[in-house]
Amino acid sequence: MTQTQRDFTLEPADTERLANLAGPFDQHLRQIELRLGVAIANRGNIFRVTGEAGAASRAEHLLQALYAEAGDTTFDSHAIHLRLNDANVDQVDEAGYQPQEVSVKVRRGTIRGRGANQARYLHSIATHDINFGIGPAGTGKTFLAVAMAVDALNESRVQRLVLVRPAVEAGEKLGFLPGDLTQKVDPYLRPLYDALYEMLGVEKVVKLLEKNVIEIAPLAYMRGRTLNDAFVILDEAQNTTIEQMKMFLTRLGFGSTAVVTGDMTQIDLPKHVKSGLKDAIEVLRGVEGVSFTFFEGRDVVRHPLVARIVNAYDRRDRDNARDEQGQ
């Protein structure tokens, strides 16, 4: 796409108003950049917006309007989010759009998307309230979602993390496992613990769990709750029922982000029960504010053999589907 630059000055010059507009560490400007797919640079109240012509124009008008309001309104990330929604300024032309790179700083370094799908996934999480990451094992769906959650917590964009999985048995019976309920469900939540340990370190995770800043829970415990200012991840969503998926998605409150991850080839539900994830794909595609990222075998970032195994199973499934249609 053709890039254009728009230079303009926000009047009157006022350092307090400018700081309110930009946010701590320019957080509000970065939020606008991600939503519109533009780059914003400024020296004092002199601004330059670079991007596709329509997006750059929308960004300029939005910044002018926000600056006019900044004199008597204190902005936070939630207020900026609402202004973006009210102005209906989502970037357009999806076919030609190249998402801006989103990098996440964690204890072990900086995490970036490997390949186009991972980059698109990270950008979608940064710019949408509800996100679905769907694809085979090893594509980074859960790991990247946890990275974005930790980044949101570190930047104080959310007050807590809620990590959820359905406790569905994959061939074993949950009731026969030793221990209390927490000990019974811990094995199902272990991948989330592992990702958190890698992002934050074991000691910090333990402290945040004790303070209930990080909550890890079975899906059944979400009923009746409303989650405000939270980053919520539902992992292994292919094992939810339709009712459970609807219940989870309607828990979302103000200032919250939800990420739903799952692999449609690893459903452990009884055969007569339709997966809530499959149903959500059919019902919610095209709903504004909801994003879908579909990963494939080529997106696998584990051992190269894993990608070949995924592709072999996919071929088998396609062949079986063709055989069933031919009967």
Q: pLDDT by residue (tens digit) across 156-215? A: 889 999 999 887 644 444 455 556 555 666 676 777 888 888 888 899 999 999 999 998
Are 162 and 230 within 8 A, CB to CB?
yes
**Parallel, antiparallel, or unpaired: how do β-strands 46-52 and 39-43 relate?**
antiparallel
Res 166: pLDDT: 86
Domain residue limits at 108: 104-297
Per the domain annotation, does 307 fall within a domain?
no
- Enter the pTM of the model: 0.67
Same domain for 45 and 142, yes or no, is: no
Q: What are φ and ψ of residue 288, in 5° steps? A: -65, 135
Same domain for 37 and 62, yes or no, is: yes
Same domain for 128 and 53, yes or no, is: no
The pLDDT tens digits along the chain (327 residues) read 578 899 999 999 999 999 999 999 898 998 888 878 889 999 999 999 998 888 889 999 999 999 999 988 899 877 887 777 666 655 444 444 455 566 677 666 677 777 778 888 998 898 889 999 999 888 889 889 999 999 889 888 899 999 998 876 444 444 555 565 556 666 767 778 888 888 888 999 999 999 999 988 888 888 888 888 999 999 999 999 999 999 999 998 888 999 999 999 888 888 889 999 999 999 998 888 899 999 887 777 665 566 678 778 878 877 887 777 766
Domain end marker among 68, 96, 124:
96
- Alpha carbon 298 to chain centroid, angstroms: 21
Count CA atoms closer than 13 A to 82's CA, side-chain side. Answer: 8
Give the 3-state secondary structure of residue 132: strand
Per the domain annotation, does 147 fall within a domain?
yes
Domain end marker among 96, 129, 146:
96
Same domain for 208 and 249, yes or no, is: yes
Domain count, the chain: 2
What's the CATH code of the domain at 134? Answer: 3.40.50.300
Same domain for 58 and 115, yes or no, is: no
Same domain for 20 and 57, yes or no, is: yes
Q: What are φ and ψ of residue 35, in 5° steps? A: -70, -35
Same domain for 116 and 260, yes or no, is: yes
